[in-house]
Amino acid sequence: KAGVTQTPRYLIKTRGQQVTLSCSPISGHRSVSWYQQTPGQGLQFLFEYFSETQRNKGNFPGRFSGRQFSNSRSEMNVSTLELGDSALYLCASSSSTHNEQFFGPGTRLTVL
């Protein structure tokens, strides 16, 4: 099976712009979670989707949003980018909530 894929791998944006990141989970996995990784804050949970429904959301401002499609692919959007949004954004999928999550390689977002 192919692993979790994320596109693009690298992204450079300027403050005030918006960005959309994409994640394709492992085939058959219906749960997709997003995490932000920064040197200062570590790995922080953004949101979790299951069968096109947001099941849980982390403590991030409303500028961060996401969605999941019927084929389980997911996108996350960040509007009005700030310098502090520079991070590695990781997507993970799992077959159920009790199983391990498998992570993609991440999208490195740099905000200038």
Partner 1 sequence: AQSVAQPEDQVNVAEGNPLTVKCTYSVSGNPYLFWYVQYPNRGLQFLLKYITGDNLVKGSYGFEAEFNKSQTSFHLKKPSALVSDSALYFCAVRDNRGSQGNLIFGKGTKLSVKP
- Does 36 engage in binding with partner 1 (CB under 8 A)? no
What single-letter amino acid sits at 103?
Answer: F
- Does 24 engage in binding with partner 1 (CB under 8 A)? no
Instruction: Compare residues 73 and 105 and give the one whose CB is closer to partner 1.
Output: 105
Q: With contact defined as beta carbons under 8 Å apart, do 46 and 99 qualify?
A: no
Integer Cα distance of 97 and 14 in angstroms: 36
What single-letter amino acid sits at 82?
Answer: E
Interface with partner 1 (CB under 8 A), residue from 11, 13, 58, 86? 58
Question: For partner 1, what does the binding mask look like between residues 63 and 92, x meaning CB under 8 A?
Answer: ---------------------------x-x
> By C-alpha distance, which of 11, 18, 1, 55 is closest to 33?
55
Q: Minimum Å distance from CB 56 to partner 1?
A: 4
Instruction: Assess whether the previous peptide bond of 25 is cis (omega < 30° from 0).
Output: no
- Which residues of the chain form contacts with partner 1 (CB under 8 A)? 4, 31, 33, 35, 42-43, 45, 48, 50, 55-56, 58, 90, 92, 94, 96-98, 100-106, 108
